[in-house]
């Protein structure tokens, strides 16, 4: 089954949890154990991304290690042209829609497209939208951050993503953000679009995850903020899967 089909099928039934793994070579130690634990806790897929200077060989090794320890989908979440591995199941082919630089909306994607085709992995179009505070990804991606008070901006960008034919929308507050994407914004975006909505950044507790799901998030992403706090991860995953 294609990963996109899996996402569309499962999000019609329930909210999903995706674990974000940073492929930085300095963080590889203990990765296999972490993947086994997250798999057992019930995460639904693994996203691989975060580092912008990753080498393809290192990324290949990370993906192979992860796939050895889980049968869940392994999806690339690239930050640069080097973020493509033929060993992954799919890649989020994303456009940072509120970037002020064409490099992050279309140019890197144009030069990356042949690499994705050669890899023979499944591309899944994604509209990527950075919400304040934005963190490193907001700064590096030259994003004009969507302020919490500008809910209509988030709605506009998300609806544009759908009309462009993208398969997913991702509202991102930034890794380690002090506050996650507000529920009011999630609710407004979900009301406007008919494609799955991913929400990430700043989600550290079951209460925050559950609030996002109740507001309309189809997929919750957690990563660096609590990547080694498996108690918190268990509570978050359980809260997402509640009926």
Domain tally, the chain: 1
Look up tokens 């994604």; give the residue. 126
Which 8-state DSSP code applies to residue 118? H
- Model pLDDT, residue 26: 58
Structure confidence by residue, pLDDT tens digits, 180-195: 999 999 999 999 999 9
The string of pLDDT tens digits covering residues 12-65 is 999 999 999 988 755 667 888 899 999 999 999 999 987 567 788 889 999 999
Q: What are phi and psi of 63, to 5 degrees?
A: -60, -45
Question: What is the structure's pLDDT at 134?
Answer: 93
Compute the Cα dihedral for 184, 178, 201, 70 and give only its sign: negative
Please list the ranges in the chain whose pLDDT falls under 70.
25-28, 51-52, 224-227, 243
pLDDT at position 30? 80
What range defines the domain where residue 94 resides?
Answer: 3-240
CATH number assigned to the domain comprising residue 216: 3.20.20.390
pLDDT of amino acid 243: 57
Structure tokens at 67: 């796939």
User: What is the overall mean pLDDT for the chain?
Assistant: 93
230-240 helix and 31-41 helix, angle to the nearest 10 degrees: 30
How much is the pLDDT for 225?
Answer: 63
From the number of C-beta atoms within 10 Å of its C-beta (0-12, 13-18, 19+), residue 119 rates as middle
Q: Find out whether 218 and 11 touch, Cβ atoms under 8 Å.
A: yes
The predicted pLDDT at position 47 comes to 96
Rg for the chain, CA atoms, rounded:
16
What is the model's pLDDT at position 52?
Answer: 62
């Amino acid at each position: 089954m294609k990963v996109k089909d899996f996402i569309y099928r499962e999000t019609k039934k329930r909210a999903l949890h995706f674990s974000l793994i940073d492929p930085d070579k300095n963080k590889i130690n203990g990765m296999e154990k972490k993947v086994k634990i997250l798999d057992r806790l019930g995460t639904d897929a693994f996203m691989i991304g975060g580092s912008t200077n990753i080498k393809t060989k290192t990324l290949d090794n990370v993906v192979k290690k992860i796939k050895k320890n889980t049968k869940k989908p392994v999806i690339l979440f690239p930050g640069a042209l080097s973020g493509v591995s033929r060993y992954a199941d799919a890649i989020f082919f994303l456009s940072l829609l509120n970037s002020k630089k064409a490099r992050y909306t279309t140019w890197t994607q144009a030069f990356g497209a042949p690499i994705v085709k050669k890899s023979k992995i499944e591309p899944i179009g994604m509209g990527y939208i950075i919400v304040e505070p934005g963190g490193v990804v907001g700064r590096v991606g030259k994003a004009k951050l969507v302020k919490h008070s500008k809910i209509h901006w988030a709605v506009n960008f998300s609806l544009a993503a759908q009309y462009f034919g993208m398969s997913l929308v991702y509202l991102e507050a930034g890794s380690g953000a002090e506050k996650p994407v507000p529920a009011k914004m999630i609710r407004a975006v979900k009301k406007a679009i008919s494609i799955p909505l991913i929400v990430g950044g700043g989600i550290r507790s079951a209460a925050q995850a559950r609030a996002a799901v109740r507001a309309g998030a189809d997929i919750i992403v957690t990563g660096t903020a609590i990547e080694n706090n498996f108690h918190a991860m268990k509570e978050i995953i359980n809260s997402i899967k509640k009926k």
